[in-house]
Each structure stands twice: as C-alpha cells, then as structure tokens.
Structure 1
C-alpha cells in the first residue's frame, strides 16, 4: 500500500460593492461620468453639484468642473 501526501493552495479574491463600483466608474468616459454624477445628485439630496463652465479645450469640447459637496 503506497501513501501519498499532497497539498493544494487556493486563493479566492472577492470584490466589495464599493470596489466594484469604483472599477466601473473608472471605465466611464468624461461625458458618461458627468451624466452618472448628475443622476446620483438627483437621487441623493445630500449631494450638491455645482457646474462651472470653462473655456473650450483644443478638441473643441467644453469641459466642466464639478464640485461635489457632501
């Protein structure tokens, strides 16, 4: 009778809800991110979004600064 000893290592990574959301937000374009923030501000009365227009960028896209107050 031959005996054999083996060992197996397993690593399982789980993402928290916040980390999953952060990864998702990092994939948004600037326009999509702006839309998402505005939607969240409508749904959450504690978020105040203040828009300030700046000059147009070289690509002829206007940028907006968002100030979030929590």
Structure 2
C-alpha cells in the first residue's frame, strides 16, 4: 500500500482495509487507516528500512577484490 501511495498521486489516505478470515466470509473485519495512524506509520517505517537492511546484509562477491592479491 505504501509503495502505491508514494508512486501514484491519485491514491491517498484514508485507506479502507477488509480482513477476511480463512474459510469464513461471515467474519469480516473493516478498518479505516487515516492520516497519522500509528500502526500504518510503523509499517511504513519498517517497510522503508527493510530493503536497505537487506542490501547492506548482502556480502561483497569474492571476485570484487581478486586483483588486490
């Protein structure tokens, strides 16, 4: 959701969220994420940090410094 919000100006808050439980269409939970929603802010921060952390965790290839020997 956050990527869509950032890349498409026609998509914005509030976001309406529906949760369907496995094997049950009767127990639908609805929630509206408004501007400043603490849970959405936490997800946005973690989602933004995750690709950067994954990139930093990838070790350099062995061949990168092969000419230094």
TM-score interval for Structure 1 and Structure 2 normalised by the shorter chain? under 0.3
| TM-score normalised according to structure 2 size | 0.25
Structure with the larger helix share:
2
Structure of higher CA gyration radius: 1
TM-score, normalization by structure 1? 0.25
